[in-house]
């Protein structure tokens, strides 16, 4: 049934023309038996018919109220376009600065960083600002950055949904002080933007007190689902990336996933497969492996989304959630492939590949080297990459590991919008199948409290 | 016994003086019961007494012949200093170029990249060349790079132990052609260096034919163990990093690990713990989590070393090798911690932390904000980072997960040399305990052959 659906969709070499706004080519054939020897079969899917119908119904109901819905994140493609004029206006102002410091961590950073890395030009275009993501605490880096930058031409965008994330608040306060010391309060204020909850939190109160421009995060959208809100859209717009196309791609994917039927709705099919391979086939580890070098940070966004949404205790059942692991082709052929092929059979794979990618330079093969590398003659670097992908997928399939391939019709904002919406949707469906709340993160609070306690009391011997 | 050995070695805040050439502070207390509820106990270790003695004997015997030994990689700290004058001489020449393209993949890249990232200044010093690592195939990146660089002031260092790695050969040929087109053959040759096997392979033959300067990789040292050979030392020396200190650190660690006794030899203890937690406690996933931002690429080197050395089929036994996973504190508190705490109890953790790290800027807390963040008052960013590390380690320990902490006395070449030698040694010991050859990678060949076949025949429809 699904087995042949998209078979060989990605087998052609990547040098045909790029159709505009083409959909993702999702090839699930190797997730099923017999192609993937440890894959899912019809009986597994039959058992899941009712839970899948209920999951789809729940998702549909819980998105009906738009941005007020429980799953508001899935309605962003419909509702964020209305905010684009406001985002563009802020972005135009911020783009006048030479350096833009984007301060945020986790959900306030991983998505924008991954998309920026994938879509920015290799070298900045004239007029584009340099973006610096200030995420992790790294004192020497911050010191060097501030020694290197001119406050006059530097803007700060601080992002925290709650408005109180300790890493972000701490670093933002240091940046404010640096701006104020050099420029005075008033001019420092012209170089700050805050992205936070519209009604509550420290950042919101600060913005009101000091009249700092802000952009709101919809209250019902949590950090890891927020890349399609101002959290991701503002930094990306500042970088000159086409955020309208990003939302359009997400909307196109949402429309594609409206059907209740597994065969018509790829998000539902993927959720079912990832879930069944975990609970029925012992595939506890889910490896995300792009063969698209600029997607090397996409896995960071995906791993947060998946782990924090699904890695959860359940009453009377095994804990939910496969471990998401990021890899990168071809690099990890030289690093992880040995283990993938010979170690435990507890893994499944998701490949991302560029269907219509650049062929790149032809490998120039001197006469003397034709005997050594006959297969490189008249081949481009893009063809070498694609042959390595096909070969790796084949050896992984032959070893029995279930795997799926998402063929990207291009590496652009519309395509990545689809990919973002697809995985947010798959994650919510999977949460419903596991019976966990995909929106909370109850276990994380204990560590935050403990860190505060250590800072207050013990640490430093104060 | 081991439980109290180094307990609290890393609990102090990181602002004491840095002792010169101090050893790693290895705190294994939480790997044992009862601290880590799922940890190892005395009975587990007792069973392992003979295998450990045999492993240590094997390692000792198989390193006795120096660079001709089976485990030649572990003798590099003793033998590479003799090659430093040759490496420095080449590095001095290469440093005169403005841009240096380091072409290599996997073992020919991950180690140098990780150390470069950890040890380079945040912004280049005057006179330092810019290093560009050309690892993965990424046609638009290569095109942009070559459009941006001046051939006159660019040098190429291509690295492949075998001399025939397809990604490296393909990209190196493109770079050669670019140099030759702009500068002619003779001047292009003055801008190339090859690092490869001293006797065989395509690169070696090319070097002989065209009189291209080369540096040798010791024949018995495989890619993933080669960061302390010319493979890592030349690029790092070009970057101005103190490679003599790197080797000295490795030698100091080697001396520390000379004892046959678990209590005296941290490499032997770590190998025993990682191994026992896998086979006796079901800890199949080993997470490497630095709380040192510039070590964010260290996990890539470690993951290759561990996975390719140990992820192997065994006759009549479960496959060997835990899955190595890289994480980063504090970022992954906001991403993976939820899953670590509530999902399956199949994980163990290795934390890296800076014992004497920079305190960094004090968080400037305005009067109005003291009520909101009383615990930030008079705290530095470094203290915030360290409190978060302590809190996360505590919640992970309370959840029962075994974990160990390696406290780095500083972030310098001597310390990272220790860390490199430690993990190479742990990996070899672990291979001996599992009964697999830690030096080969038999499963990887099939994919390489298949890629060549696809390039020759099918792909591209030629």
Domain ranges of chain B: 25-60+247-434, 96-239
Q: Which residues of A touch B312 (CB under 8 A)?
A: 338-339, 342-343
Residue B454: closest C-alpha in chain A: A387
Contact (CB<8Å) A336/B285? no
Identify all chain B residues contacting A107, using CB atoms and an 8 Å cutoff.
Answer: 334
Respond yes or no on whether the N-terminal peptide bond of residue B304 is cis (omega within 30° of 0): no
Catalytic hit among A334, A367, A445, A457: A334
Contact A138 B369 (CB under 8 A): no
Given B364, B373, B443, which is nearest A342 (Cβ)? B443
Question: Does residue B210 carry a catalytic annotation?
Answer: no
> What average pLDDT does the structure give for chain A?
93
Residues of B in contact with A124 (CB under 8 A): none
pLDDT of amino acid B17? 62
B76 pLDDT more than 60: yes
B137 and A328: CB-CB below 8 Å?
Answer: no
Question: Across the interface, do A390 and B451 touch by the CB < 8 Å criterion?
Answer: yes
Q: How far does the CA of residue A244 sit from the closest CA of chain B (Å)?
A: 24
Q: Which residues of B touch A160 (CB under 8 A)?
A: none
A172-177: long-range contacts (C-beta < 8 A, 24 or more apart)? A172/A103, A173/B363, A173/B364, A173/B365, A173/B366, A173/B369, A173/B376, A174/A142, A174/A146, A174/B361, A174/B363, A174/B364, A174/B381, A175/A101, A175/A103, A175/A134, A175/A146, A176/B364, A177/B364
Interchain contact, B375 vs A447, CB within 8 Å: no
Q: Where are the alpha helices (DSSP H) in A280-349?
A: 298-310, 337-342
Catalytic residue among B70, B167, B308, B383: B308
> What Rg, from alpha-carbon coordinates, does chain B have?
23
Check pLDDT > 70 for residue B307: yes
Verify cis geometry, omega within 30 degrees of 0, for the bond prior to B330: yes
**DSSP sequence for B239-282:** TT--HHHHHHHHHHHHHHT--SSTTT-HHHHHHHHHHHHHHTT-
Q: Which residue in A has a C-alpha nearest to residue B108's C-alpha? A: A334
What confidence tier does B16 reach under pLDDT thresholds 50, 70, 90?
low
The residue among A336, A323, A286 whose CA lies nearest residue B306 is A336
Residue in the block written with tokens 């087995």: A3
- Partner-chain residue, chosen from B209, B343, B381, that has the shortest CB–CB distance to A312: B343
What is the length of chain B?
462
pLDDT by 10s per residue, chain A, length 462: 344 443 333 344 445 566 778 999 999 999 999 998 999 998 999 999 999 999 999 999 999 999 999 999 999 999 999 999 999 999 999 999 999 999 999 999 999 999 999 999 999 899 899 999 999 999 999 999 999 999 999 999 999 999 999 999 999 999 999 999 999 999 999 999 999 999 999 999 999 999 999 999 999 999 999 999 999 999 999 999 999 999 999 999 999 999 999 999 999 999 999 999 999 999 999 999 999 999 999 999 999 999 999 999 999 999 999 999 999 999 999 999 999 999 999 999 999 999 876 788 999 998 889 999 999 999 999 999 999 999 999 999 999 999 999 999 999 999 999 999 999 999 999 999 999 999 999 999 888 899 999 998 855 443
Name the CATH topology of B25-60+247-434.
Rossmann fold (3.40.50)
**What pLDDT, on a 0 to 100 scale, did the predictor assign at position B18?**
66
* B202–A369 CB contact, under 8 Å: yes
Q: Which residues pair with A362 in a beta bridge?
A: A380
Contacts of B170 in chain A (CB under 8 A): 363, 376, 379, 381, 384
A302 contacts in B (CB within 8 Å)?
A: none
Interface test with B, best of A144, A146, A168, A170 (most B CBs within 10 A): A170
Which residues of chain B make contact with A331, given a CB cutoff of 8 A? 105-106, 135-136
Nearest CA in chain B to A384: B455
User: B334 an active-site residue?
Assistant: yes
Indicate if the pLDDT at residue B300 is higher than 90: yes
Kindly tell me if the per-residue pLDDT of B78 is higher than 60: yes
- pTM for the full predicted model: 0.95
How close, in Å, is residue B312 to chain A by CA atoms? 5
Subunit contact A383:B459, Cβ cutoff 8 A:
yes
How much is the pLDDT for B334? 93
Q: Which of A368-372, B24-28, B55-59, B395-399 has the lowest mean pLDDT?
A: A368-372
Reading the block at residue A253, the tokens are 């994917």
Which of B148, B334, B378, B449 is an active site residue?
B334
Query: E strands along A217-328, which residues?
Result: 285-290, 323-326
Q: How many CB pairs under 8 A join A and B?
A: 388
State residue A16's pLDDT score.
54
A384·B321 Cβ contact <8 A = no
Total Cβ atoms within 10 A of residue A263: 11
Are the beta carbons of B387 and A320 separated by less than 8 Å?
A: no
Nearest alpha carbon to residue B82 among B229, B242, B249: B229
As its CATH architecture, domain B96-239 has 3-Layer(aba) Sandwich (3.40)
In the prediction, which pLDDT does A8 show? 34
Q: Are the folds of A25-60+247-434 and A96-239 the same?
A: yes
Mean predicted confidence (pLDDT) in B432-448:
94
Q: Do B312 and A338 touch (CB under 8 A)?
A: yes
Closest residue, chain A, to B107 (C-alpha): A334
Position B462 scores a pLDDT of 34
> Could you tell me the two tokens for A358?
């650049």
Nearest to B167 among A318, A330, A390 (CB): A330
- Cβ–Cβ of A359/B170 closer than 8 Å? no
Calculate how close chain A gets to B40, using CA atoms only, in Å: 22
Is residue B194 scored above 50 in pLDDT?
yes
Q: Which residues of A touch B107 (CB under 8 A)?
A: 334
| ipTM value | 0.94
Mean pLDDT of chain B: 93
- Which residues does chain B have within 8 Å of residue A453's beta carbon, measured at their own beta carbons? 391
Closest Cβ opposite residue B174 in set A284, A363, A447 = A363
What is the greatest pairwise CA distance in chain B? 73
Quick check: is A334 catalytic?
Answer: yes
**Cβ-defined contact of B338 to A444 (cutoff 8 Å):** yes
The DSSP element (H or E) to which A393 belongs, if any, is helix A381-398
């Amino acid at each position: 049934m699904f087995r042949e659906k998209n078979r060989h969709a990605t087998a052609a070499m990547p040098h045909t023309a790029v159709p505009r706004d083409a959909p993702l080519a999702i090839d699930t054939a190797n997730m099923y038996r017999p192609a993937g020897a440890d894959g899912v079969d019809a009986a597994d899917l039959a058992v899941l018919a009712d839970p899948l119908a209920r999951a789809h119904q729940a998702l549909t109901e819980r998105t009906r109220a738009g941005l007020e819905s429980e799953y508001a994140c899935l309605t962003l493609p419909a509702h964020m376009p209305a905010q684009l004029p406001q985002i563009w206006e802020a972005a135009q102002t911020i783009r006048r600065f030479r350096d833009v410091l984007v301060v945020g961590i986790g959900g306030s950073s991983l998505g924008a960083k991954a998309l920026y890395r994938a879509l920015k030009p290799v070298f900045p275009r004239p007029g584009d600002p340099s973006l610096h993501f200030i995420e992790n605490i790294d004192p020497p880096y911050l010191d060097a950055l501030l020694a290197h930058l001119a406050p006059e031409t530097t803007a700060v965008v601080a992002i925290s949904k709650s408005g109180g994330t300790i890493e972000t608040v701490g670093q933002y306060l240091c940046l404010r002080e640096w701006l104020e010391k050099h420029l005075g309060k008033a001019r420092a204020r012209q170089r700050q933007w805050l992205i936070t909850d519209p009604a509550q939190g420290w950042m919101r109160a600060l913005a009101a007190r000091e009249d700092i421009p802000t952009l709101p995060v919809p209250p019902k959208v949590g950090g890891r689902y927020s890349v399609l809100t101002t959290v991701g859209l503002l930094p990306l717009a500042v970088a000159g990336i086409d955020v309208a196309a990003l939302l359009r791609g997400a909307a196109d994917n949402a429309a594609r996933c409206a059907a209740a039927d597994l065969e018509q709705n790829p998000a539902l099919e993927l959720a079912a497969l990832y879930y069944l391979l975990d609970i029925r086939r012992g595939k506890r580890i889910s490896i995300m492996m792009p063969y698209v070098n600029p997607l090397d940070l996409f896995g960071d966004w995906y791993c947060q989304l998946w782990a924090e949404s699904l890695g959860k205790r359940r009453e009377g059942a095994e804990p939910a959630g496969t471990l998401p692991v990021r890899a990168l082709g071809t690099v990890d052929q030289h690093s992880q492939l040995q283990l993938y092929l010979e170690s435990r059979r507890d893994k499944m794979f998701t490949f991302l590949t560029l269907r219509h990618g650049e062929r790149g330079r032809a490998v120039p093969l001197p006469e003397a080297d034709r005997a050594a590398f006959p297969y490189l003659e008249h081949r481009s670097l893009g063809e070498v990459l694609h042959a390595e992908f096909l070969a790796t997928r084949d050896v992984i399939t032959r070893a029995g590991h279930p795997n799926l391939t998402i063929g990207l019709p291009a590496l652009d904002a519309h395509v990545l919008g689809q990919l973002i919406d697809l995985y947010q949707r798959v994650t919510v469906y999977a949460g419903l199948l596991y019976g966990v709340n995909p929106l909370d993160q109850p276990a994380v609070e204990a560590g935050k409290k403990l860190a505060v306690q250590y800072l207050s009391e013990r640490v430093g011997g104060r």
